[in-house]
Structure 1
């Protein structure tokens, strides 16, 4: 039987950050965090956004404007738990809509 190695959390995090350098992967990652229905944890959304910022920083692809917006949003999310965002998503769902995250062309 072949021995399978489980990645350590450090190597998984490195892999995740590396994959988030791709705008398509980053968009899908945010989308998944916004679509979680059970056990919505504001910390998951904050963590996902931080992962994307980390990936952009490693790629030297983060504008000062984006950094400022991230810091402002992170502060809001830490204070409110993202209730506004999740309420908007629930409202749109009730109307038969959903939010889609996609990279700009």
Structure 2
């Protein structure tokens, strides 16, 4: 069978980013990635980047969130998310489940926003 690459859909990507502006959608999106039984290391980084892109577009990405993202991105780059997925597996073995939910705290976009722009995110891998 011939290897055929499907064209990338910018309209789907835009739809996804728009949907991730809703906190419940973003939480579900990241949660679904964490539930994968055979996780691909780049998927979690990619999902987090898309949620961050949605927050940036809403002007709701604080300096504090930027700093935490930079730390986490370095860790995920180095380990492929091994620590996070090991925690998920341990919790499951103990009969628990890690769940991503929306915090009760309202985002203070106006007071905490930064001039962080989308181009500062690590570039997306071409195949994701």
TM, length-normalised to structure 1: 0.90
Task: Tell me, in whole angstroms, the C-alpha distance in 2 between the residues paired with 1:44 and 1:36.
Answer: 10
Aligned to 1:3: none
Which residues in structure 2 correspond to 1:15-30 (within 5 Å)?
A: 15-30=15-30
Task: Tell me, in whole angstroms, the C-alpha distance in 1 between the residues paired with 2:77 and 2:40.
Answer: 11
Aligned to 1:5: none
Computed over aligned residues only, the root mean square deviation of the Cα atoms, in angstroms, reads 0.8
Aligned length: 97
CA shift digits 1:12-52 (9 cap, x unpaired)? 000000000000000000000000113x1110000000000
- Runs ≥4 residues deviating over 4 A: none
Unpaired segments ≥5 residues, structure 1:
1-7
TM, length-normalised to structure 2: 0.74
Name the one with the larger helix percent: 1
Correspondence 1:100 to 2:102: no
